[in-house]
Amino acid sequence: MDAPILICYDDSVGARRAIEAAATLFPASRAVVLDVAPVLTSEESYFELSPFAPNFEELNRQSALEHASLGAQLAQHAGLTAEPRADVSARTWDGVVEVAEEIGAEVIVIGSRGLKGVQALLKHSLAHDVAEHAGRPVLIVPPETTKHD
The mean pLDDT value of the chain amounts to 86
pLDDT digits (tens, 9 = 90+) for 11-45: 999 999 999 999 999 999 999 999 999 875 555 54
pTM for this structure? 0.84
The pLDDT of residue 46 is 45
Cα separation, 60 vs 109, in Å, equals 22
DSSP string, 115-132: --HHHHHHTT-HHHHHHH
Q: Which residue segments constitute the domains of the chain, with CATH numbers given?
A: 5-141 (3.40.50.620)
The pLDDT of residue 9 is 96
The pLDDT of residue 60 is 84
Helix/strand/coil (H/E/C) assignment for every residue in 37-105: ECCCCHHHHHHCCCCCCCCHHHHHHHHHHHHHHHHHHHHHHCCCEEEEEEEECCCHHHHHHHHHHHHCC
Instruction: Tell me the average pLDDT across 107-121.
Output: 74
